[in-house]
Structure 1
Amino acid sequence: MKNDKTWNSVDHYFTEQFQPESKDLQYVRDNNQKHGLPEIDVTPIQGKFLAMLAQLKGAKNILEIGTLGGYSTIWLARTLPEDGKIVTLEVDPIHVKTAQANINSVKLANKVTIIEGPALSTLPTLQAQGFSNFDFIFIDADKPNNPHYIKWALQLAAKGAVIVSDNVVRDGEVINKNTCDEKVLGIRKFIDILTKDERADSVGIQTVGEKGYDGFVLTIVQ
């Protein structure tokens, strides 16, 4: 079996061939590091993949749960049409400040609204603020709360919406029924919800690469 050194090399090859990271996106990564943000952004390949999914959907109204420094936010926002919007939720004020600066630096502030606070507190307020009927949702936040996030995502999604939920394989631990890891337990409960909810048509995809062995769940809202 090939090891993670090979996975990384293949990721770097595809990045160089298909989506060399632009200077402004490299600046975003550097700025995140400068401000002490954890290095858990999506990779350039994953960012491009998200952007292509949003483009295929023709997304105009995007929700992101978990902003970090805005790297994935920017990938998604760049796919939006002139009247498109993305709302992104982030709990950490330092992350919010850094993300806003990053988004301003690439001149996308008119398309992006960052809402600060715990997502479980801000999600119930979105509809009253005029944010609902999302046609694309990206969930990439604290995994123990994924069961709550997917319930809200399904409630706020338009029919036919695409939901992408990241980091669901956890190095294969997702199949461990006896786990005590709260992140894995959150993912397993999240998967149980999708399995039982008639609105959700989902598929799980395993991945390898710069982020090791992980994967995502892709859901279409019926």
Structure 2
Amino acid sequence: MNQQKQTWDEVDLYFSNKLHTTDHIMNSILKANEEAGLPAIDVSPNQGKFLHLLAKLCGAKSILEIGTLGGYSSVWLARALPEEGRLITLEYEEKHAKVAEANIKKAGLADKISIIVGAALDTLPKLKEQGLTSFDLIFIDADKVNNSEYLRWALKLSRPGTVIITDNVIRDGKVLDPDSEDPNVKGIRTFVDQLSVDPRIDSTVMQTVGMKGYDGFVIGRVKQ
């Protein structure tokens, strides 16, 4: 581990230890994900708390998450919901969804969170058909290749004032390379180009460093 990354990790732990109470449920979710062999790509505890506070700040009662993995970010977000609040999360891998289901049940949030299994580009149109629109907050954290399509659907399923947040947009700075052959980088650059010209959303970026390395979020708000 290089010195810079070690510093990032230590700073992350410092703030997590200072500002978060010990959370056995969240720790157990990360452990369950690891034991199930899921990739270690969950948001960090500080990022999870950021998502939680963001949902609180915008008064979210309905949340859509694109990309569940083991449900770590799902639980952070759902904990911010009021009693009548609901979160729908979309997951491509059935194995991941089963792990997430167990974690969500363990967190006592099975009545607030619904997991839909399948390719998001297949399930998103079904949400619209069912009238599940006007989400207050939409979190995009799935395959980066399809980010621009996820944004297109997020805008269809939003209302004026909806917050749309997208993870992993910096890629350790690789997003700067216009000649990159990495499909993830290409997907993010297409997504950012789309954001830059779409008049319906106002957005910015927040770069992050920490135990997840150098990355960041794009945060947008659907205009009135």
Cross-structure match for 2:183? 182
Cross-structure match for 1:155? 156
Distance 1:188 1:27 in 2: 35
SS in 2 for 1:26: helix
Query: Shift of the alpha carbon at 1:130?
Result: 3.3
Specify the code of the residue in structure 1 equivalent to 2:25.
Answer: D
Q: Residues 152-206 of structure 1: CA distance to partner in whole angstroms, max 9, x if unpaired?
A: 0111111100011000001111111111110000000000111111011000111
Distance 1:56 1:21 in 2: 23
Alignment of 1:4 onto 2:5: yes
Cross-structure match for 1:137? 138
Show structure 1 runs of 4+ deviating over 2 A.
none
Change (3 A) 1:21 1:89: farther
Q: Residues 108-134 of structure 1: CA distance to partner in whole angstroms, max 9, x if unpaired?
A: 011001000000110110022231110
Q: Paired residues, what number? A: 222
Identity %: 53
Query: Shift of the alpha carbon at 1:79?
Result: 0.4
Alignment of 1:164 onto 2:165: yes
Query: Shift of the alpha carbon at 1:21?
Result: 4.3
Cross-structure match for 1:117? 118
Distance 2:222 2:133 in 1: 14
Gap regions ≥5 residues in structure 2: none
Q: Residues 7-57 of structure 1: CA distance to partner in whole angstroms, max 9, x if unpaired?
A: 110000000000144011111111111111111101100000000000000
Distance 1:20 1:65 in 2: 28
Specify the code of the residue in structure 2 equivalent to 1:196.
Answer: V
Specify the code of the residue in structure 2 equivalent to 1:172.
Answer: G
User: 1:33-72 counterparts in 2 under 5 A?
Assistant: 33-72=34-73
SS in 1 for 2:148: helix
Specify the code of the residue in structure 1 equivalent to 2:201.
Answer: A
SS in 2 for 1:187: helix
TM-score by length of 2: 0.97
Alignment of 1:91 onto 2:83: no
Distance 2:133 2:5 in 1: 40
SS in 2 for 1:109: coil
Distance 2:193 2:22 in 1: 37
Quick check: 1:21–1:44 contact (8 Å CA) kept in 2?
no
Gap regions ≥5 residues in structure 1: none
Quick check: 1:62–1:134 contact (8 Å CA) kept in 2?
yes
Distance 2:22 2:50 in 1: 13
Change (3 A) 1:106 1:200: same
Cross-structure match for 1:127? 128
SS in 2 for 1:68: coil
Distance 1:213 1:12 in 2: 16
Specify the code of the residue in structure 1 equivalent to 2:54.
Answer: L
Instruction: Give me the CA root mean square deviation.
Output: 1.2
SS in 2 for 1:165: strand
